[in-house]
Amino acid sequence: MDYQGKIYRPWPEANSLLIQATLGCSNNQCTFCTMFDDKRFKVRDINEVFADIDEARAKYRHVESIFLIDGNVMAVRSELLLKLLNKLTSTFPELKNIALYAGYNDIRRKSIDDLKAFRKAGLSMVYTGLESGDPIVLEKIKKNLKREHVIEGAAMLKQAGIKMLASFIFGLGGKERSKEHIRATTDILNLTQPEEIAPMAIALQPGSELEREAQRGEFVLPSSLQVLEEEQYLLEHLNFQTYYWGDHGNNISPMKGWLPMHQRAFLSKIEHEIANNPITQQNVIQTFAW
């Protein structure tokens, strides 16, 4: 397999075959992220991708799940992406799931007919980086994303029948905007109702713009207590059915399962952490780079 540069996939895709369709990220300027700082965004030559697919078929007898990398495969031209999806399903007829990273804005640039064609060709899940529902936080992190963009993109996916996993970051508002960040994020989740959600606690990535802002005192990391209180607020106010991937390695109390089925139990765990975990006395959260 001809992987190029640093390779990332979401933690729920640990058992998926990775096929690299693009290089880098089409935005690639978020202040908190350094995932694709080693390459510029580019769509790979389709024949090279097809060669990787054929090589994977020769190597693996049974593949049920494929995740397309890099950072924003939905930016690929619709006719090219459709060819890629059809190649995957014809090469791996046993496939049950095909997923990829996508920005809300690149979803919006597709037509509903395009998205429905992707679904028919096998695309089952799109991973979107919401990060925050707070307009001020989104502007500060250079996400190039507005609340109305999130709403429109999410609605288009639902209309096409493609499931969505929305990821977001506890503590991304820092010490100053913790409450505004989690309230706005919870509100937009309730409005868009992703089939799955994946929260993770903030971590300063070495070399990131956010790390430099923190070093200059322009961004102040939240405390562990604030991060726990953000998760507490989220679990108190989410009001739709979704799968909760709250088991990221940086989360203080990792847990996963269906909401609302496990919502009360998850909330009780967070309340216990708030009342008993000594890290709530720390002034700044301690987490690890991805």
Residue 48 has pLDDT above 80, yes or no: yes
pLDDT score, position 143: 94
DSSP state of 70: S
Residue 182 exposure: Cα atoms within 13 Å on the Cβ side: 25
Q: Report pLDDT digits (tens) over 203-229.
A: 999 999 999 999 999 999 999 999 999
Q: What's the angle, vertex CA 212, arms to CA 208 and CA 217, rounded to 5?
A: 145
Asked if the structure places residue 6 within a domain, the reply is: no
Helices 147-160, 178-192: inter-axial angle, 10-degree rounding = 30
Q: Report pLDDT digits (tens) over 103-113.
A: 999 999 999 99
User: Rounded CA gap, 252 and 273, in Å?
Assistant: 8
Asked if the structure places residue 1 within a domain, the reply is: no
Asked if the structure places residue 2 within a domain, the reply is: no
Rounded mean pLDDT, 2-20: 91
Asked if the structure places residue 4 within a domain, the reply is: no
- Rounded percentage of the chain residues whose pLDDT exceeds 90: 91
User: What radius of gyration do the chain's Cα atoms show?
Assistant: 19
User: Rounded CA gap, 82 and 119, in Å?
Assistant: 10
C-beta separation of 16 from 9 below 8 A? yes
Q: What is the chain's mean pLDDT, rounded?
A: 96
We report the CATH number of the domain holding residue 239 as 3.20.20.70
Asked if the structure places residue 136 within a domain, the reply is: yes
Read off the tokens for 268: 């009780």
DSSP state of 73: G
Asked if the structure places residue 286 within a domain, the reply is: no
CA-wise closest residue to 107 among 95, 96, 94, 119: 119
Residue 6 has pLDDT above 90, yes or no: no
Per-residue CA distances from 116 to 49, 97, 105 (Å): 23, 16, 17
Read off the tokens for 210: 């956010």
Rounded mean pLDDT, 266-289: 94
Task: Count how many domains the chain has.
Answer: 1
pLDDT score, position 153: 98
Segments forming the whole domain that contains residue 103: 11-281
Asked if the structure places residue 290 within a domain, the reply is: no
Asked if the structure places residue 238 within a domain, the reply is: yes
Q: Report pLDDT digits (tens) over 67-89.
A: 999 989 999 999 999 999 999 99
